[in-house]
């Protein structure tokens, strides 16, 4: 029995190391994070599971995805952050990070029951901006918290531009992310529409 348990623990350790190495090899650490998570978020768009680093076009990610994370404790609260860490390009990320989604006080991994601060916005890399890394991170909160940021609808800029999840984590004592996920995206014909709607600040 101890032998079987030992194998199981060893397998989990190897899997966690593999996850962390993916975040390091993609330079998410140190570009956006100081420490890599050791668990992956299960991410799906329209029911289709997404693999780490998979390329999805903006047209593919217009609708809010579904997420789960295995480390979720149903009695604890979590913060979910989605950012583009490469605007306007990975070579010149002068607007790093752009906040695409922010949900706080999530009980367990039930995002629908959390408090949305920034409504979901899909990827929209600019033309000639190359491939952008779209990062999802989950932080375990020390408790249910009061967040001071004003609500932002899905075409409102607010604090989205040059958002820093490192600073946000420090502000609310969230620590390091417990789970994460990343896909990549590049420009397609939907992007001009998205950018135009953002400039108008309209709700759609």
Measured between alpha carbons, how far is residue 150 from residues 122, 153, 158, 159, 173 in Å?
Answer: 20, 10, 8, 9, 19
Nearest alpha carbon to residue 52 among 34, 26, 72: 26
User: What's the whole-number mean pLDDT along residues 147-168?
Assistant: 94
Q: For 57-85, how does the pLDDT look when each residue is reduced to its tens digit (9 = 90+)?
A: 999 999 999 999 988 899 999 999 999 99
> Considering the chain, what is the average pLDDT of its residues?
90
pLDDT computed for residue 47 by the predictor: 94
Nearest alpha carbon to residue 197 among 167, 159, 154: 154
d(CA 169, CA 171): 5
d(CA 102, CA 88): 20
d(CA 45, CA 43): 7
Q: What is the DSSP string of 29-59?
A: HHHT-SS--SSBEEEEETTEE--TT-B--GG
Does the pLDDT value for residue 1 go beyond 60?
A: no
Measured between alpha carbons, how far is residue 13 from residues 20, 71, 187 in Å?
Answer: 11, 14, 37
d(CA 187, CA 194): 11
Nearest alpha carbon to residue 140 among 107, 178, 101, 168: 178
Dihedral (C-alpha) 130, 133, 134, 140: value to the nearest 10 degrees? -160
pLDDT computed for residue 202 by the predictor: 57
DSSP run (H or E) holding 6: helix 2-25
Does the pLDDT value for residue 4 go beyond 70?
A: no
Domains of the chain: 2-200 (3.90.280.10)
Does the pLDDT value for residue 14 go beyond 50?
A: no
pLDDT computed for residue 200 by the predictor: 81
For residue 53, name the pLDDT band (cuts at 50, 70, 90).
very high
Q: Which residues pair with 45 in a beta bridge?
A: 48
pLDDT computed for residue 15 by the predictor: 63
């Amino acid at each position: 029995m101890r032998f079987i348990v030992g194998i199981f623990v060893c397998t989990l350790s190897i899997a966690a190391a593999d996850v962390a190495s993916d975040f390091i090899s993609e330079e998410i650490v140190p570009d956006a994070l100081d420490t890599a998570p050791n668990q992956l978020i299960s991410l799906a768009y329209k029911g289709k599971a997404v693999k780490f680093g998979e390329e999805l076009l903006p047209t593919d990610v217009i609708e809010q995805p579904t997420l789960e994370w295995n480390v979720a404790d149903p009695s604890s609260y979590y913060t979910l952050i989605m950012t583009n860490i490469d605007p306007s390009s990975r070579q010149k990320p002068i607007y790093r990070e752009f906040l695409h989604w922010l949900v706080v006080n999530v009980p367990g991994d039930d995002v629908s029951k959390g408090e949305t601060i920034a409504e979901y916005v899909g990827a929209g890399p600019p033309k000639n901006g190359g491939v952008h890394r779209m990062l999802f991170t989950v932080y375990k909160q020390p408790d249910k918290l009061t967040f001071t940021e004003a609500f932002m609808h899905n075409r409102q800029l607010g604090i989205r531009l040059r958002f820093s999840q490192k600073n946000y984590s420090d502000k609310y004592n969230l620590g390091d992310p417990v789970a994460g996920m990343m896909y990549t995206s590049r420009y397609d014909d939907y992007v001009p529409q998205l950018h135009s709607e953002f400039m108008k600040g309209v709700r759609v």
